[in-house]
Amino acid sequence: MTEEVLLRENWPPPAPGAAPLSRMVRAQAGLELRTLVRNGEQLVLTLIIPVLLLISFGRADLVSVGPGSRIGFIVPGVLALAVLSTAFTSQAIGTGFERRYGVLKRLGAAPLSRRGLIAAKTGTVLVVEVAQVAIVLAVGAVLGWRPVASPAAVVWVPLLLLAGTAAFSGLALLMAGTLRAEATLAAANLLYLIMLGLGAVLFPLTKFPAGARPVLRLLPADALADGLRSVLDYRGGAPGTDLLVLCVWAAAAIALAARTFRWE
């Protein structure tokens, strides 16, 4: 028996089929991350703008934040803004133009499902957010921020950030998967400014009419900022209501995005 025959008989037979979902998600997430790092506009949105706002609002008396230190109020809000910038605005615009240029159409012919694509994009966002959180906390410390937090903050902060990421990612993919790229670009930037201006991200809710406050507290940006602030600055109680609001937004947005997302 020749060597060629021995190799043929002992060589494992081909196993056609798609790779495991976890492997496909990791591969897609790696591609998404490399694309994001090469995009200067996205880096400005996700890193430069939050840091500039942190420095501007943390040092200058631009708005009264009520009792407590100014930097203690601003840092949790900027953390929420960083999640909003990356998980919502950046992801919505990037995904919208991927649809326009046919990138997602080609992915639609691959075994990667809608849920797999959502998982890959959310994983990419989480990696970027780790860098954002580290930078914001470092800049905040340089500006004099000293969190007044209980030991439970090490549990609540990751939970709030994860829930906020899931909520904003779901909303971003819902928008990018149903609207045209130009409409997504306009709507994502508009909603970014609305949530920045109407929420507790940089301005306390006491600045708004009393009748509007209960509604504003139901917005995901407000819930995330208030929840982070309650555990990092005010020694507030467990932010269960804020976490619940974020989980409801996340569940609804992801379910709708998975059902309605169009590849082309």
pLDDT in tens, 199-227: 678 788 777 888 888 888 889 999 999 89
Say if residues 224 and 107 touch (Cβ distance below 8 Å).
no
- Position 20 scores a pLDDT of 64
Distances (CA, A) of 97 to 7, 38, 51, 61, 145: 48, 15, 26, 39, 38
Whether residue 16 is contained in a domain is answered as no
Whether residue 146 is contained in a domain is answered as yes
Q: Which residue from 55, 83, 77 is spatially nearest to 200, judged by alpha carbons?
A: 77
Whether residue 18 is contained in a domain is answered as no
Question: Considering its fold, how many domains does the chain have in total?
Answer: 1
Whether residue 239 is contained in a domain is answered as yes
Ranges of residues in the chain whose predicted pLDDT is under 50: 1, 6-7
Whether residue 13 is contained in a domain is answered as no
> Helices (H) and strands (E) in the chain — how many of each?
13, 0
Q: How far apart are CA 84 and CA 196, in angstroms?
A: 9
Whether residue 137 is contained in a domain is answered as yes
For the record, the structure tokens of 35 come out as 């694309």
Range of the domain at 110: 23-260
220-232 vs 70-83: helix axis angle to the nearest 10?
140
Whether residue 3 is contained in a domain is answered as no
Whether residue 10 is contained in a domain is answered as no
Please tell me the pTM assigned to this model.
Answer: 0.81
Helix (H, G, I), strand (E, B) or coil at 203: coil
CA 134 from chain centre, in angstroms, equals 15
